[in-house]
Amino acid sequence: MTHHPKERPNSLSRRGFLLRSAGAAAAVSGAGPLLAACGSTTSESTGTGLEGPGGLPLARPDKRVTLPRWEDPIESGLKPETGGTFTVFNYPAYLYRKLLTEFGAKYDVEVQYTPFDNVNSGIQRLASGGVTPDVMEITPDTLDIGVAGELIKPLNLDYIPNLQKNIWPQLVDPFYDGESRYTVPYTCYATGIAWRTDMIKEDIAGMEQPWDIFWESQAYKGKVALLSENRETIGMALLRKGITDINTEDPALVNQAVSDLKELYDVCNIKVDDIQYRTVPEGSSWLHQAWSGDMIAGYIYYLPKDTPASALAYWKAPHGKVPVQNDCFAICSTTEKPVLSHLFLNYLLDNGVAYENFVDFNGYQPPLNEIDPSTLVQKGVVPENLENSVLTNEELGTDSLQYGTLTSQGQQLWQDGYSNFLAGGGS
Amino acid sequence: MYRRWLWPSFALPGVLWLVLLFVVPFYAVLGVAFGTVDPILFQPVPIWNPLEWNVGWLNEVLGRLAPGGIWFDVGIRTIVYVLVSLALCLLIGYPVAYFTARHAGRWKGVILILIILPLWISYMMRMLAWVNLLQTDGYVNDFLTFTHVLSQPRDWLGGSASTVILALVYGYIPYLILPLFASLDRIDRSHLEAARDLGASPWSAFRTVTLPLSKTGILGGAVLITLPMFGDYFTPNIVSGAPSTSMIGNQIDLYFHGGPQPTIGAALTIVLAAFLTILMLYYMRSIHRAQREAGTVGAL
Note whether B251 contacts A419, CB cutoff 8 Å. yes
Interface of A with B in 335-394 (CB under 8 A): none
Overall residue count recorded for chain A in this entry: 427
**Residue A127 at interface with chain B, using a CB cutoff of 8 Å:** yes
Q: Is residue B109 part of a domain?
A: yes
Give the pLDDT score at B296.
Answer: 54
As a whole number, mean pLDDT of residues A396-417 equals: 92
Cβ pair A55, A34 in contact under 8 A: yes
As a whole number, mean pLDDT of residues A129-139 equals: 92
**Residue range A26-84, pLDDT digits in tens:** 333 333 444 444 443 444 566 667 788 788 899 999 999 999 999 999 999 999 999 99
Q: Is residue B14 part of a domain?
A: no
What band does B1 get if pLDDT is binned at 50, 70 and 90? low
Side-chain half-sphere exposure of A182, counting CA atoms within 13 A:
32
Range of the domain at B141: 49-293
CA distances from B274 to B49, B225, B270, B278, B280 (A): 20, 17, 6, 7, 10
pLDDT at A409 over 70: yes
Which helix (H) or strand (E) segment is A111 a member of?
strand A110-115
Mean pLDDT of chain B: 91
Nearest by Cα to B245 from A423, A17, A54, A82: A423
Q: Which of B32, B38, B41, B70 to mutate to test the interface with A (most CBs of A within 10 A)?
A: B41
CATH 3.40.190.10 residue ranges for chain A: 14-188+326-378, 189-323+402-422
Residue A173: CB atoms within 10 A of its CB come to 15
Q: How far apart are CA B182 and CA B217, in angstroms?
A: 7
Q: What is the DSSP letter of A263?
A: T
Fold classified for A189-323+402-422: D-Maltodextrin-Binding Protein; domain 2 (3.40.190)
What band does B40 get if pLDDT is binned at 50, 70 and 90? confident
Q: How far apart are CA A147 and CA A178, in angstroms?
A: 13
Cβ pair A186, A366 in contact under 8 A: yes
Q: Which of B36, B40, B251 to mutate to test the interface with A (most CBs of A within 10 A)?
A: B40
B61 → chain A, closest CA residue: A416
Of B45, B157, B237, the CB nearest to A21: B45
**Residue range B18-36, pLDDT digits in tens:** 999 999 999 999 999 999 9
Note whether A422 contacts B155, CB cutoff 8 Å. no
Give the pLDDT score at A45.
Answer: 61
**Would you say the C-alpha torsion A95, A97, A99, A105 has a positive or negative sign?**
positive
This model's pTM is above 0.90: no
Radius of gyration of chain B (CA): 23
Q: Is residue B289 part of a domain?
A: yes
Give the pLDDT score at B295.
Answer: 63
Q: Is residue B162 part of a domain?
A: yes
At B209, which CATH number?
Answer: 1.10.3720.10
ipTM over 0.95: no
Note whether B251 contacts A423, CB cutoff 8 Å. yes
pLDDT at B92 over 90: yes
Domain total for chain B?
1
**Residue A412 at interface with chain B, using a CB cutoff of 8 Å:** yes
**Residue range B124-171, pLDDT digits in tens:** 999 999 999 999 989 999 999 999 999 999 999 999 999 999 999 999
CATH 3.40.190.10 applies to domain A14-188+326-378: yes
Residues with Cβ within 8 Å of B46's Cβ and at least 6 positions away in sequence, in order, are B28, B31, B32, B35
Q: Is residue B4 part of a domain?
A: no
What band does A166 get if pLDDT is binned at 50, 70 and 90? very high
Give the pLDDT score at A15.
Answer: 32
**Residue A28 at interface with chain B, using a CB cutoff of 8 Å:** yes
**Residue A419 at interface with chain B, using a CB cutoff of 8 Å:** yes
